Structure 1
Amino acid sequence: MAARMTDGGNIPGTGYHDRNATSSDEWNLQNVLPNTGKPWYKQRHLVLLNLGMIIPYLSSTTNGYDGSMLNGLQSMSQWQHFFGSPTGTRLGSLSNGVIFGQILAFPIAPWLCDHTGRRFPIFLGSSLLVIGAVLQCAAQNYAMFLISRMVIGFGGLIAVEASPMLVSELAYPLHRPVLVGYYNNLWYLGALLAAWVTYATYFMGLHTSWAWRIPSLLQGFFPLVQVLFVYLLPESPRYLVQQDRHEEAREVLTKYHAGGDEHSPLVDFEMQEIILQIQTAKAASKTGYREFLSTGGNMHRLFIIVAVPCMMQLSGNGLISYYLHLILNSIGFTSDPQQLRINGGLMVFNLVVSVILASLMELAGRRRLFLSSTIGMLICYVIWTVLSAVNEQRHFKDSSLGTGVVVMIFIYQICYNAGLNGPPWVYVTEVLPTHLRAKGTNIMQIASTCVLIFNGYANPVAMDAIGWRYYVVYCCVLAIEIGIVYFGFPETKGHSLEEVALLFDGDEAFGDRLTKSLV
């Protein structure tokens, strides 16, 4: 039970007044937003804050570069010859090399986020990514290439866990959903660059290993930018409050949310919400990860943070992300340059579509996007499966069927981007309270890793063994996902990070304080 208000409603030990002692009409986000009469892009403090989000975004960009680069390398004769044309589990191990590194980082990443803040893990993880990229470029054999990918996975997980948390906890309240939505969309920027870099270096010559070494080295560029500039960003105010550094947190909010106005009602509102939620959470907090099993609300959160990453990776997109080469082979598109152009064109398409959809995300809401996305993907996969089956029966002589599959892949990506690219990180950071956010993000990464291991080994083996018939599995999975979203995902649109707790915990979200002013 959180401590009761004393001294006329003051929050003990903070110097802040309990806003629930004030009229609910007076205390709500819309009433405390500053009315400057200017759009955000004409307010220097908001421009600087939003531009600064590019630094944590680059963690997602590096992730996207990795997936697309491996797709491109598989379509390069130079890489295939150097590593002996790996297939099946041997190829799956290269894809899963990053996953093996992530597994080693799981115990470390949440501890770093909880005890060192959000910026240091980004710095540390990005430094390791630079080292991994150099090793990958210098690889002399299969084993060295695999080890370099493990280093990339280890550093990448540390940076990826902290990055969306920093964006979510630092963003201006009205901009948070779109800014967090952009985080995962920047995956496609890295994927796009990797696709066209591998296409360009392919023409360096059939007998030069630099055709694949250059793309491998460039994987370290974005992490290097993060290493150099991450400390130009302020620390998360929610982390600072969690560490009882209230004045530092207020300085961050005053500078970046209120443009230096020390008497801003918005800053007062945010500080009081953050302090109230964190104090209540600390008072009720159990031991470590077991807290996810302590209440019905936390178990519901646990269900969501496991379901969301499984949907992100197990909706058939894993085939496109890492094994587009095998898909294109299965429909008769076997030319190296042709595959590289399709891969590059798909990434350009994805980047444009995902940014547009993320900009509109706040209009539709999270649950509606999840539903429309899963339904659309199921329809695409059914058509894709039928076209692939007929194409095989006709011995790949009808090129229009192969073209139809490629078209369905592009339409599928629209549906995927609508619900499973931008919204997941927004949704997960919203449903998790501050004191559980690092641990919850870690659980999300563990769930994602388990599915990625499955994708890494099962997908290439199954595609080699049964071809298009494997798509039926994903049709069934997508049908199950529709039911999960419909029955298990509440709508969080229109609530602050602290207010979302009411959807899961009810009146217990803020202890024994009144909650009517939040709704």
Structure 2
Amino acid sequence: MGGPTTVPAGGAGYAHLIDNSRPWWRNSRILLLNFWISLLLLTSSANGYDGSMMNGLQSLSQWNVAFNNPSGGKLGLLNAIQNIGSVAGLPLTPYMADGMGRKFSVIFGASLVIVATAIQTASQSVNMFIGARFLIGFGLTFATNSAPLLVTEVAFPSQRAPVTSLYNTMYFLGSIIAAWTTFGTFNIPSSWAWRVPSVIQGVPSVLQVALLWFVPESPRWLISKGREEQALNILAYYHANGNRHDPLVEYEFEEIKAAITFDREVAANVGWLSLIRTPGNRRRLRVMVAIGFFSQWSGNGLTSYYLNKVFDDIGITNPTIQLLFNGCLSIWSLILGVTGSLLCDKAGRRGIFLTSTIGMLVFWTLQTICFAIDVQTGNLAAGHAVIAMIFLYQGFYGCAFVPLIVSYTLEILPFPIRAKGYTLFSFVVYISLVFNQYVNPIALAALGWKYYLVYLFWLCFEVIFVYFFVVETKNRTLEETAAMFDGDATVAQISEKAVATAGIAHKADETVEHETKPEL
């Protein structure tokens, strides 16, 4: 390609239809919708809680005694079994999300997690604990692959990108809660030192199973199943205070119908091969696979490993202080992730991705130099500089590759292949995690600080890839964004059909109220 991938400037087709006479926090319907969305965001927190909890449990003598001090392959299985359970359930998730609905899939996954955490809490043997963790991973994969779909498809149009970006960011909230929970139960002189964190792990899933029945189903999924009246009621209830004739609601409704019809005409039989069947889908696949790998292969898998080593090298060997630094790093990542989420429609996805990759490259380079000096000369100042570089590097990583990888992947995928595409993206992330878990320690032992150079060159490639292939998608509807990869003509075709069908131009002044409580 001869230059960066861009799209014509301009706002979304719906922008002029939004009533800006009062802020969203004074609109009770949008507040209620965001409450339901926050309930869905707990899915990511539950996922983050699990990994952090396992790290904390390994520091508890009560847990080690209860399971005969697991080590070697047994300990590796205890840590990896949750991901193994997730991979086992992954092929089934798009079929349940597309067949039974996004909401049902989250409830199903949360129900499995409740059962699994009960077994985990009551575990009397290491094998029972391992089986419970497999079931936790299996259940989580249904929830984590359906919750973001529902978030992005039900959110108020102007808030869709920020709230979907917050989904992945909430991983760190769960991680922080788990870290301090295990730290707080450290002094309990019984097995409840590890059973209490396990009980708390099930709390988000209990809340979801109790309340998700009241959450609106995806209007896009309902329309795809021919339940158009129900979809229109939900759009009207939450996006226009019940007014089915609101210009925004009519535009959304007709645009969703036009996009689904168009996609069905292009690919009547939507299967896995649809992901590579058209040039637009191949462009989508290239981008989402790349950012999936980038999210784990940007050097972030090494920071925690080398952080502890640097602490030892500069004389910080107290585990409590090391835990404090690690806890602060998670809080820092959460702050930057939330910041990136809230700015994604102002700064743009492409701008944030470019800033992130360039910033990571700069501070990874400085981190490599400082660490090499510290290892070769024992210079304490260089060791302290490494810690500073890690925090700065993690800040640039967190502003894009925490919030945007989920929201960007979902919005570039058209509805018929959204569930399957996101499943493939999740699989790429899991494969990348396996690489981090098994290859990095071997390479680090063999190459030491020189292994940093591998990621330095890889980050150079990431900057180039983002510059040429990441498309700007800010301030567009899901349908407009997904169609961009199929060409500007497709965007115009869907938008024009939505406007023409809804008769927006003729109804702009219409204020008919038709209050309808949606069937959820």
Closer/same/farther in 2, CA of residues 182 and 244 from structure 1, 3 Å limit? same
Superposed counterparts of 1:214-233, under 5 Å? 214-233=196-215
What is the alpha-carbon distance in structure 1 between the residues aligned to residue 368 and residue 69 of structure 2? 27
User: How far off its partner does 1:510 sit?
Assistant: 6.8
Name the structure 1 match of 2:120.
Answer: 136
Name the structure 2 match of 1:238.
Answer: 220
Name the structure 2 match of 1:29.
Answer: 14
User: How far off its partner does 1:255 sit?
Assistant: 0.2
User: How far off its partner does 1:236 sit?
Assistant: 0.5
What is the alpha-carbon distance in structure 2 between the residues aligned to residue 421 and residue 388 of structure 1? 25
Name the structure 2 match of 1:93.
Answer: 77
What SS class does the counterpart of residue 268 from structure 1 fall into?
helix
1:283 paired to 2:265: yes
TM-score by length of 2: 0.86
User: How far off its partner does 1:354 sit?
Assistant: 2.0
Correspondence for 1:196 among 180, 183, 186: 180
Point out the more displaced range, 61-70 or 45-54.
61-70
Name the structure 2 match of 1:478.
Answer: 459
What is the alpha-carbon distance in structure 2 between the residues aligned to residue 326 and residue 82 of structure 1? 29
1:348 paired to 2:299: no
Show structure 1 runs of 4+ deviating over 6 A: 321-324, 510-514
Name the structure 2 match of 1:254.
Answer: 236
Name the structure 1 match of 2:100.
Answer: 116
1:54 paired to 2:23: no
User: How far off its partner does 1:57 sit?
Assistant: 0.2
1:370 paired to 2:331: no
Closer/same/farther in 2, CA of residues 77 and 473 from structure 1, 3 Å limit? farther
User: How far off its partner does 1:499 sit?
Assistant: 0.8
The answer to whether the 8 A contact 1:71-1:325 is kept is no
User: How far off its partner does 1:400 sit?
Assistant: 4.2
What is the alpha-carbon distance in structure 2 between the residues aligned to residue 272 and residue 299 of structure 1? 27
User: How far off its partner does 1:151 sit?
Assistant: 1.4
What SS class does the counterpart of residue 38 from structure 1 fall into?
coil
The answer to whether the 8 A contact 1:71-1:322 is kept is no
Instruction: Structure 1: give runs of 5+ residues left out of the alignment.
Output: 1-24
User: How far off its partner does 1:482 sit?
Assistant: 1.4
Correspondence for 1:487 among 423, 443, 468: 468
The answer to whether the 8 A contact 1:104-1:154 is kept is yes
Letter in 2 for 1:391: D
Correspondence for 2:48 among 64, 67, 72: 64
Name the structure 2 match of 1:11.
Answer: none
What SS class does the counterpart of residue 295 from structure 2 fall into?
helix
User: How far off its partner does 1:269 sit?
Assistant: 0.3
The answer to whether the 8 A contact 1:133-1:148 is kept is yes
Name the structure 2 match of 1:181.
Answer: 165
1:450 paired to 2:431: yes
What is the alpha-carbon distance in structure 2 between the residues aligned to residue 152 and residue 324 of structure 1? 29
Superposed counterparts of 1:372-411, under 5 Å? 372-394=355-377, 399-411=380-392
Name the structure 1 match of 2:139.
Answer: 155
Point out the more displaced range, 431-440 or 359-368.
359-368
Superposed counterparts of 1:317-356, under 5 Å? 317-320=300-303, 328=311, 333-356=316-339
What is the alpha-carbon distance in structure 2 between the residues aligned to residue 78 and residue 100 of structure 1? 26
Closer/same/farther in 2, CA of residues 514 and 451 from structure 1, 3 Å limit? closer
Name the structure 2 match of 1:14.
Answer: none
What is the alpha-carbon distance in structure 2 between the residues aligned to residue 462 and residue 327 of structure 1? 18
User: How far off its partner does 1:387 sit?
Assistant: 2.7
1:500 paired to 2:481: yes
The answer to whether the 8 A contact 1:281-1:435 is kept is yes
Closer/same/farther in 2, CA of residues 401 and 322 from structure 1, 3 Å limit? closer
Deviations, residues 92-134 of structure 1 (Å, cap 9, x unaligned): 4333212211111122100010011111111111112222223
The answer to whether the 8 A contact 1:95-1:322 is kept is no
Point out the more displaced range, 416-425 or 242-251.
416-425
User: How far off its partner does 1:501 sit?
Assistant: 3.2
Name the structure 1 match of 2:87.
Answer: 103
Point out the more displaced range, 220-229 or 456-465.
456-465
Closer/same/farther in 2, CA of residues 319 and 513 from structure 1, 3 Å limit? closer
What is the alpha-carbon distance in structure 2 between the residues aligned to residue 271 and residue 235 of structure 1? 14
Letter in 2 for 1:241: I
Deviations, residues 396-419 of structure 1 (Å, cap 9, x unaligned): xx5544433332222122101111
Letter in 1 for 2:384: T
Name the structure 1 match of 2:299.
Answer: 316
What is the alpha-carbon distance in structure 2 between the residues aligned to residue 244 and residue 34 of structure 1? 29
User: How far off its partner does 1:76 sit?
Assistant: 4.2
Name the structure 2 match of 1:303.
Answer: 286
Closer/same/farther in 2, CA of residues 471 and 140 from structure 1, 3 Å limit? farther
The answer to whether the 8 A contact 1:309-1:444 is kept is yes
Closer/same/farther in 2, CA of residues 323 and 215 from structure 1, 3 Å limit? farther
Deviations, residues 336-393 of structure 1 (Å, cap 9, x unaligned): 2122222222222222232223212211111111111112112222222233333333
User: How far off its partner does 1:428 sit?
Assistant: 0.9
Letter in 1 for 2:265: A
1:127 paired to 2:127: no
Closer/same/farther in 2, CA of residues 412 and 511 from structure 1, 3 Å limit? closer
User: How far off its partner does 1:282 sit?
Assistant: 1.2
What is the alpha-carbon distance in structure 2 between the residues aligned to residue 134 and residue 468 of structure 1? 43
User: How far off its partner does 1:251 sit?
Assistant: 0.3
Name the structure 2 match of 1:437.
Answer: 418
Closer/same/farther in 2, CA of residues 105 and 324 from structure 1, 3 Å limit? farther
User: How far off its partner does 1:423 sit?
Assistant: 1.4
Closer/same/farther in 2, CA of residues 200 and 39 from structure 1, 3 Å limit? same
Correspondence for 1:414 among 389, 395, 419: 395
What SS class does the counterpart of residue 28 from structure 1 fall into?
coil
Closer/same/farther in 2, CA of residues 421 and 321 from structure 1, 3 Å limit? farther
Point out the more displaced range, 501-510 or 83-92.
83-92
Closer/same/farther in 2, CA of residues 384 and 130 from structure 1, 3 Å limit? farther
The number of aligned residues is 488
What is the alpha-carbon distance in structure 1 between the residues aligned to residue 316 and residue 361 of structure 2? 24
Instruction: Structure 2: give runs of 5+ residues left out of the alignment.
Output: 1-9, 500-520
Name the structure 2 match of 1:16.
Answer: none
Closer/same/farther in 2, CA of residues 343 and 85 from structure 1, 3 Å limit? farther
What SS class does the counterpart of residue 262 from structure 1 fall into?
coil
User: How far off its partner does 1:231 sit?
Assistant: 1.4
Closer/same/farther in 2, CA of residues 338 and 513 from structure 1, 3 Å limit? closer
Name the structure 2 match of 1:459.
Answer: 440
What is the alpha-carbon distance in structure 2 between the residues aligned to residue 299 and residue 46 of structure 1? 36
What is the alpha-carbon distance in structure 2 between the residues aligned to residue 80 and residue 387 of structure 1? 37
Name the structure 1 match of 2:194.
Answer: 212
User: How far off its partner does 1:230 sit?
Assistant: 1.2
